[in-house]
Structure 1
Amino acid sequence: MNPVAMQNAEPLKGHHILVVEDEALIGMELAYEIESAGAFVTHVLTLEAALKSLDKTWSAAVLDINLRGKDVFPVADRLQQMGVPFLFCSGHGSHQETSSRYPGSRLLAKPVDEAVLLAALAEIVSR
């Protein structure tokens, strides 16, 4: 973990983070970076698995917007109803739709820098 990322590691220790990412390698990388900061991570690959995972208690979530042609918005809607903070992570698309639908939400562009990811997660779990 780089020194900047280490600064953001402490606030994530012990938190439970859901990563919804349909590209397995990207999801594993995101999970590894977040776990390196001391968080517990569950990575799911599909919209269906993400929806099923919402019966657990989450500190925050990282959501890929497009999951094999399906929008992640049903998951974001449920998380918002549950009061669970989340951020979007996408390799394409603009933040216009997500920011109008989820005011105050954040979009990180892929590939995501580890320090940026951890800082963004630290910010939303501390709210």
Structure 2
Amino acid sequence: MTPAGQGPGSDLAGRRIIVVEDEALIAMMLEDMLTDFGCEVVGVAGSLPEALRLVDKAIDCAVLDVNLGGSPIDPVMERLTDRGVPFVFLSGYDAADLPPHLSKAPLVRKPLKAETLRRAIVDQLAA
């Protein structure tokens, strides 16, 4: 494992990020990836109410599952947009299969690849 702030994810060192994912194993994997990139994971939410509590924290970016146990991610996406916080979507579906309003952010397909996730976050932070 590369020390935080060094290696291929160092452009994300110190970035404060939340993870919104209802599958515990994927959430843990995301948390590990983000930590390896040098990010500070501010919180992990597996439900819409938990996610809505996290979005008001001081964060630089969010990683959002498109669907949380049958609940669309829209309220979280809207609050992040209102606050000017960039985000990246996660889904097992292709972008063409998602509702058009979800095209506001890049889609990282499951199964996740660390470099794809890292690049999407870097691009969103730079936009």
Taking structure 2 as the reference length, the TM-score comes to: 0.87
Moved over 3 A (4+): 93-98
Aligned CA distance change for structure 1 residues 78 and 105 (closer, same or farther; 3 Å): same
1:102-113 correspondence runs (5 A): 102-113=102-113
Q: Which residue is 1:60 aligned to?
A: 61
Post-superposition Cα deviations, 1:16-60, rounded to whole Å, max 9, x if no partner, equal 011100000100101100111110112111111000112211101
Aligned CA distance change for structure 1 residues 95 and 52 (closer, same or farther; 3 Å): farther
SS of equivalent residue, structure 2 residue 55: helix
Verify the 8 A CA contact 1:16 1:60 in the aligned structure 2: yes
Verify the 8 A CA contact 2:65 2:90 in the aligned structure 1: yes
Aligned partner letter, 1:36: D
CA distance, structure 2, for counterparts of residue 74 and residue 110 of structure 1: 22
Structure 1 residues not aligned, in runs of 5+ = none
Cα RMSD (Å) = 1.8
SS of equivalent residue, structure 1 residue 17: strand
CA distance, structure 2, for counterparts of residue 95 and residue 28 of structure 1: 27
Structure 2 residues not aligned, in runs of 5+ = none
1:1-127 correspondence runs (5 A): 6-7=7-8, 9-41=9-41, 42-92=43-93, 94-95=95-96, 97-98=98-99, 100-127=100-127
Aligned CA distance change for structure 1 residues 95 and 12 (closer, same or farther; 3 Å): farther
1:107 deviates by 0.9
Q: Which has the higher contact order (CA 8 A, sep 6+)?
A: 1
**Number of paired residues?**
122
CA distance, structure 1, for counterparts of residue 48 and residue 80 of structure 2: 13
1:93 deviates by 5.5
1:116 deviates by 0.6
